[in-house]
Amino acid sequence: MRTADLSVVMANRNHARCLPRALNAVLSQSVPPREVLVLDDDSTDDSVRVLEGFARRFPAVRIVRNECHRGVTETYNRGFALATGKYILPGAADDYVLPGFIEKAMDQFARHPESGLCIAYGSCTEGDSGPLIVNDPGWCDQPTFFTPEDVCRRLWHTLPVSAIIVRRDALLTAGGYRPELAWYSDWFAFLVIAFRQGLIHLPETLGIHVLNAGSYATNARSGPEHVKVLGAFLERMTLPEYADVAPLFRRNGAACHFGPDLIRAAALRPDWREPSILGFLAGFAPEVFRDLATDPDPTVREIAQIFLCKPLCELIHRRADLEAENRRLVEEIQLTRLRAAPPGALGKLRWAASLFRRRLRAAVGLHPAGRFH
| Separation of alpha carbons 323 and 157, rounded Å | 12
pLDDT (tens place) for every residue of the chain, 373 residues total: 789 999 999 999 999 999 999 999 999 999 999 999 999 999 999 999 999 999 999 999 999 999 999 999 999 999 999 999 999 999 999 999 999 999 999 999 999 999 999 999 989 999 888 899 998 888 999 999 999 999 999 997 888 888 999 999 999 999 999 999 999 999 999 999 999 999 999 999 999 999 876 665 556 678 999 999 999 999 999 999 999 999 999 999 999 999 999 999 999 999 999 999 999 998 898 899 999 999 999 999 999 999 998 555 555 555 555 555 555 665 565 555 545 544 555 555 555 555 555 555 444 444 333 343 3
| Separation of alpha carbons 88 and 31, rounded Å | 14
| Separation of alpha carbons 101 and 165, rounded Å | 9
What lies within 8 Å, CB to CB, of 232 at 6+ separation is: 178, 180, 181
Residue 206 near residue 97 (C-beta atoms within 8 A): yes
DSSP sequence for 3-26: -EEEEEEEEESS-TTTHHHHHHHH
Report the predicted TM-score, pTM, of the whole model to 2 decimal places: 0.83
3-state secondary structure labels for all residues of 289-348: HHHHCCCCCHHHHHHHHHHHCHHHHHHHHHHHHHHHHHHHHHHHHHHHHHHHCCCCHHHH
At residue 37, the 3 state secondary structure works out as strand
Locate the domains of the chain by residue range: 4-219, 224-313
Q: Report in angstroms the alpha-carbon separations of 61 from 3, 77, 228, 265.
A: 14, 18, 37, 42
In angstroms, what is the C-alpha Rg of the chain?
21
**pLDDT score at 364:** 42
β-bridge pairing 144-146 and 199-201:
antiparallel
Sign of CA dihedral 315, 319, 320, 322: positive
The residue among 137, 136, 141, 143 whose CA lies nearest residue 156 is 137
Q: At residue 292, what are phi and psi to the nearest 5 degrees?
A: -90, -5
| Separation of alpha carbons 231 and 222, rounded Å | 13
**pLDDT score at 222:** 80
Strand partners, 167: 87
**pLDDT score at 286:** 87
Q: Report in angstroms the alpha-carbon separations of 175 from 325, 340, 368.
A: 35, 43, 25
| Separation of alpha carbons 176 and 172, rounded Å | 5
Residues in the chain: 373
Strand partners, 209: 124
Report the C-alpha dihedral over residues 195, 198, 201, 205, rounded to 10 degrees.
-40
Q: How far is CA 230 from the centre of its chain?
A: 16
At residue 64, the 3 state secondary structure works out as strand
Q: In what order do the strands lie in the sheet with 96-97?
A: 96-97, 207-211, 124-126
Report angle CA 133, 137, 139 to the nearest 5 degrees. 145
CATH of domain 4-219: 3.90.550.10
**pLDDT score at 333:** 56
Residue 52 near residue 125 (C-beta atoms within 8 A): no
At residue 262, the 3 state secondary structure works out as helix
